[in-house]
Amino acid sequence: MRVSIFSMKAIKPLQNINWPYLRDRAQQYYLLTRMDRPIGVFLLLWPTLWALWVAAEGLPSWHVLLVFVGGVFLMRSAGCVINDYADREIDPLVSRTRERPIAAGRVKPNEALWLFAVLCILAFALVLTMNALTIKLSFVGVGLAAIYPFMKRYTHLPQVVLGMAFGWAIPMAFAAQTGSVPKVAWLMYVINVVWSVVYDTMYAMADREDDIKAGVKSTAILFGDADRVIIGLLQGMVLLGLFLLGQQLGLGSAYYFGLAVAAALGIYQQYLIRLRQPDQCFKAFLNNNWLGVVVFAGLVISYL
């Protein structure tokens, strides 16, 4: 009988919890972190994996690999949260973003700030298991992630800042795996910044008209009618940088085959954006995931 009474006492507080409210909060936070749209995770993950494999000259330490993969998920989620907080007055004016949780009033701005803080703390807890250099570099990464969403108000080059934020995992990966950040790490960092400008300009082309009305800036607006030509030149720079990387590292034919496939994907992306139709520009943006995949596959096979 005592067991029954104690069991009822233990269950009673659970009955007082507002489960529908908690489920709703969890769903809104899930949407706010954009875990239902993992493309951002992949575009951050592939360059991180490139760096880890190059730094280790093959399979990296399992501890380092798990920390960085977990960090990618956490920091991409944190970046989405702070981006939507920064754009809470702009998103309602853009057709593609007006249903985001903060813009639609389903998540309060202060909730978003708390969620951003929690995600950053969790990511930092992972970094604390790394060496001192990696920990120091992580502060720069958090700073870049925090300032990026506000750049579209002040410069037409927010895509460059995005690339700097997305690519900061590269020097961190080298620091974690080798204890230093060699020149090859900075070459990879620059390659990733340029690549980020490529795919995020495609993304911005899908929102260009709404962004102009909302008064925000982007490379898509800056480039204007020269957007396709400039994107093509930047794509060429990315491929040239990756080719030079392969030469410097002495990589095998599998890597260059991956670059050939990446070049074909770049041509396909140019085809998609030829008419500047928003849905096709967004499709070109998504296609960059496969570019990251083929470069990574080439690296892995070369080191095997």
Model confidence band, residue 184 (pLDDT cutoffs 50, 70, 90):
very high
CB 82 within 8 A of CB 146: yes
How far apart, in Å, are the Cα atoms of 152 and each of 21, 69, 201, 290? 34, 28, 13, 27
How far apart are the C-alpha atoms of 274 and 257, rounded to whole Å? 26
pLDDT in tens, 239-291: 999 999 999 999 999 999 999 999 999 999 999 999 999 999 999 999 999 99
Confidence class for position 207, pLDDT limits 50, 70, 90: confident
In this structure, which amino acid lies at residue 155?
Answer: T
281 with 292: CB under 8 angstroms? no
Nearest to 107 by CA among 83, 81, 77: 81
Mean pLDDT taken over the chain: 91
Q: Which tokens is 303 given?
A: 């080191």
Binning pLDDT at 50, 70 and 90, where does residue 8 land? low
Count Cβ atoms below 10 Å from residue 60 Cβ, excluding itself. 21
DSSP conformation class of 106: S
Both tokens of residue 298?
């080439």
| pLDDT tier for residue 9 given thresholds of 50, 70 and 90 | low
Secondary structure letter of residue 91 according to DSSP: G
pTM of the model as a whole: 0.90
pLDDT given at position 1: 46
pLDDT band at 97 (very low <50, low <70, confident <90, very high): confident
119-148: average pLDDT: 93
Res. 293 pLDDT band, cuts 50 70 90: very high
Query: Phi and psi at residue 215, in whole multiples of 5°?
Result: 80, 20
225, 228, 208: which is closest to 216 by C-alpha? Answer: 208
pLDDT tens-digit map of 29-70:
999 999 888 899 999 999 999 999 999 999 999 999 999 999
The C-alpha atoms of residue 195 and residue 50 are separated, in whole angstroms, by 14
CB 264 within 8 A of CB 294: no
Among 129, 43, 126, which Cα is nearest to 80's?
43
User: 3-state class of 275 per DSSP?
Assistant: coil
Report residue 51 as tokens.
Answer: 């760096």
In 3-state terms the chain splits into helix, strand, coil percentages (rounded to 5) of 80, 0, 20
Would you state the structure tokens that stand for residue 118, as one six-digit string?
Answer: 């929690």
Better-scored residue on pLDDT, 3 or 21: 21
CA distance 200 to 220: 9
Structure tokens at 21: 């409210």
**Both tokens assigned to 28:** 């809104």
Closest CA to 138 of 184, 182, 113, 175: 175
CB 202 within 8 A of CB 273: yes
- Contact between residue 269 and residue 284 where contact means Cβ atoms under 8 Å apart: yes
Please count the other Cβ atoms lying within 10 Å of the Cβ belonging to residue 5.
9
Rounded to 5°, angle at Cα 285 from 241 and 195: 20
Distance of CA 254 to the CA centre of its chain: 26
Would you state the pLDDT for residue 4?
A: 54
For domain 38-303, the question of CATH label 1.10.357.140 is answered with: yes
pLDDT for the residue numbered 11: 59
